[in-house]
């Protein structure tokens, strides 16, 4: 009998304060989950853990069974019914018999009835196949729970932010699993958790304490002290008892790995705790930031100046239609600006109806109330010419999600003279230049680019930017954690409480 590995992806970063729903169709980045052979076809050869699992299965000569590939943009919790539809194909594949399970998960998924959807998934797999080896990859923004750690044998995660090492993380997990199955190693997990929520605006290894911690993790892997070491600096916008900074390390039990794994884990978390004050993000007033960007751009910067609207980032559950930063940019009269993307299906429909070349006046954006953080949607009135209308079908060519297809829905460009605004039907974080290029805007030629993103924009846009200015708008991804009415978070926790 040929050996069989079950390879599956169920991925959602759940912002429990988000106004956006998460139906079945939201998975597959808006085209619905891929099932069976379609799952493998959609992700083979891409920069994803799933693709790495497929490659290692092939090189090990085992059959890859791929029940589902499902990733949604971050948003509110999925219903129990949607979650069951996602999990059932995985359970059926495990029940049919397999030699290993490899899961490409996010690690901050909350669903109706569970604050820890990944923990539930792993527990249910264990209930079907108590002895089967299970390897998991997580996003950097994971909230690690005891149930996850108790039910997985190998855990790895991304070491980069923007996440450009997704394949690498998958490769590491699958290689450890393969070596285990060949009898070369015996994985053992150590993990730890801190009462600390590092600001996502300070998560990137190039910015703060994460750099030192990730360097320690890489050195521990390179030297053979442990098999894998992963920092998971939390997803702050999921209100769960597990939300907090953690680390997880895989040692080789045959070579004293249990102790080594625990001490590497402790060393990583000790750095995070000692440098916790550096994980706090302090924003400037919006008007000040926009005028600073204007000054730099108007002085003749050698490339676009980026204005980062980080409080309404759909890549973390933002509505992506909060107009506060756009309004300030228009008010201060910045010239030669491109903005992407504003999610507004009504505006797209009106522009499509008017047609390319038509002049329109729209109530743009601001259609979404955000009751869980006490905000009401507020559109702004904008006049301009409809420049372009596209079907919004894109393929990433930059370093993040390279080769993966995505779906903006119909998209239209509104040109106000000073600003070209990309308006889309669906949410999408701008981390790849394709977000402008697919609708005829050359981002490198603009003086200013406004992006609804926090850190991932850096993957595609940092190399072309002359300067970057973070702009404090508003929304459900604000860096000001005091805005969120947490109920389940374990307290005390830094920096919400003095620790
Ligand atoms: Zn992430």
Domain parsing of the chain, residue ranges: 4-279, 286-478
Would you state the pLDDT for residue 255? 82
Would you state the pLDDT for residue 28? 87
CA of 458 to the centre of ligand 1 (A): 13
CA of 141 to the centre of ligand 1 (A): 5
3-state secondary structure at position 144: coil
CA of 340 to the centre of ligand 1 (A): 20
3-state secondary structure at position 137: strand
Would you state the pLDDT for residue 256? 85
Listing DSSP states for 201-266 in one string gives: GG-STTTSTHHHHHHHHHHHHHTTS-SEEEEE---TTS-STT-S-EEEEEEEGGGTHHHHHHHHHH
CA of 52 to the centre of ligand 1 (A): 18
3-state secondary structure at position 9: strand
Instruction: State both tokens at 400.
Output: 């993040």
Say which CATH architecture domain 4-279 belongs to.
3-Layer(aba) Sandwich (3.40)
Instruction: State both tokens at 249.
Output: 């390390």
pLDDT tens-place string over residues 440-484: 999 999 999 999 999 999 999 999 999 999 999 999 999 999 999
CA of 234 to the centre of ligand 1 (A): 9
The verdict on whether omega for the bond into residue 162 sits within 30 degrees of 0, i.e. cis, is yes
CA of 399 to the centre of ligand 1 (A): 15
153-169 burial string, b = 16+ CB within 10 Å, else e?
A: bbbbbbbbbbbbbbbbb
CA of 131 to the centre of ligand 1 (A): 30
Would you state the pLDDT for residue 339? 98
Q: Are residues 472 and 286 in contact, defined by beta-carbon separation less than 8 angstroms? A: yes
Ion ligand 1 nearby residues (CB, 5 A): 139-141
Q: Are residues 476 and 200 in contact, defined by beta-carbon separation less than 8 angstroms? A: no
Cα 44 to Cα 51, 134, 227: the distances in Å are: 5, 21, 25
Contacts of 340 (CB under 8 A, 6+ apart): 421, 422, 430, 435, 436, 449, 450, 451, 452
CA of 401 to the centre of ligand 1 (A): 12
Contacts of 122 (CB under 8 A, 6+ apart): 103, 134, 136, 147, 148, 151, 152
Listing DSSP states for 409-454 in one string gives: -SEEEEE-SSEEEEEESS-----STHHHHTTT--GGG-SEEEE--S
Q: Which portions of the chain are predicted below pLDDT 50?
A: none
């Amino acid at each position: 009998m040929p050996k069989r590995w079950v390879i599956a992806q169920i991925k959602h970063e759940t912002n429990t304060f988000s106004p956006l729903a998460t139906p079945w169709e939201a998975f597959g980045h808006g085209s619905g989950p891929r099932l069976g052979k379609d799952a493998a076809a959609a992700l083979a050869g891409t920069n994803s853990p799933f693709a790495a699992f497929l490659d290692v299965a092939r090189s090990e000569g085992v059959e890859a069974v791929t029940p589902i590939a499902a990733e949604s943009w971050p948003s509110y919790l999925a219903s129990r019914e949607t979650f069951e539809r996602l999990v059932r194909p995985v359970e059926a594949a495990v029940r049919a018999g397999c030699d290993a399970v490899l899961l490409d998960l996010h690690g901050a998924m909350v669903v109706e009835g569970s604050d820890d959807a990944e923990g539930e998934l792993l527990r249910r797999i264990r209930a079907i196949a108590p002895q089967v080896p299970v390897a998991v990859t997580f996003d950097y923004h994971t909230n690690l729970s005891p149930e996850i750690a108790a039910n997985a044998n190998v855990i790895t995660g991304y070491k980069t932010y923007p996440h450009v090492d997704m394949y690498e993380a998958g490769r590491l997990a699958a290689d450890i699993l393969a070596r285990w199955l060949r009898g070369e190693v015996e994985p053992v997990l150590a993990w730890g958790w801190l009462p600390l929520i590092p600001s996502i605006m300070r998560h990137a290894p190039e910015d703060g304490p994460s750099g030192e911690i990730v360097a320690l993790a890489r050195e521990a892997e390179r030297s053979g002290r442990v098999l894998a070491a992963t920092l998971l600096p939390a997803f702050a916008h999921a209100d769960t008892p597990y939300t907090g900074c953690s680390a997880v390390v895989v040692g080789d039990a045959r070579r004293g790995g249990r102790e080594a794994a625990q001490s590497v884990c402790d060393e990583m978390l000790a750095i995070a705790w000692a440098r916790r004050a550096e994980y706090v993000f302090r924003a400037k007033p919006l008007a000040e930031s926009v005028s600073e960007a204007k000054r730099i751009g108007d002085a003749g910067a050698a490339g676009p100046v980026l204005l980062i609207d980080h409080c309404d980032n759909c890549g973390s559950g933002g509505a992506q239609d909060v107009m506060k930063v756009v309004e300030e940019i228009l008010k201060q009269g910045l010239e030669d600006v491109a903005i992407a993307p504003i999610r507004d299906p009504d505006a797209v429909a009106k522009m499509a109806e008017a047609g390319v070349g038509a002049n329109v006046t729209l109530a743009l954006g601001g259609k979404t109330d955000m009751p869980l953080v006490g905000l009401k949607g507020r559109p702004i009135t904008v006049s301009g010419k409809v420049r372009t209308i596209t079907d919004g079908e894109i393929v990433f060519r930059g370093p993040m999600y390279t080769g993966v297809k995505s779906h903006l829905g119909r998209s239209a460009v509104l040109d106000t003279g000073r600003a070209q605004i990309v308006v889309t039907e669906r949410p999408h974080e701008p981390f790849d230049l394709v977000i402008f290029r697919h609708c005829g805007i050359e981002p490198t030629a603009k003086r200013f680019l406004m992006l609804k993103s926090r850190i991932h924009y850096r993957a595609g846009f940092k190399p072309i930017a002359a300067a970057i200015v973070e702009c404090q708008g508003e929304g459900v991804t604000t860096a000001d954690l005091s805005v969120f009415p947490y109920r389940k978070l374990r307290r005390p926790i830094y920096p919400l409480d003095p620790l």
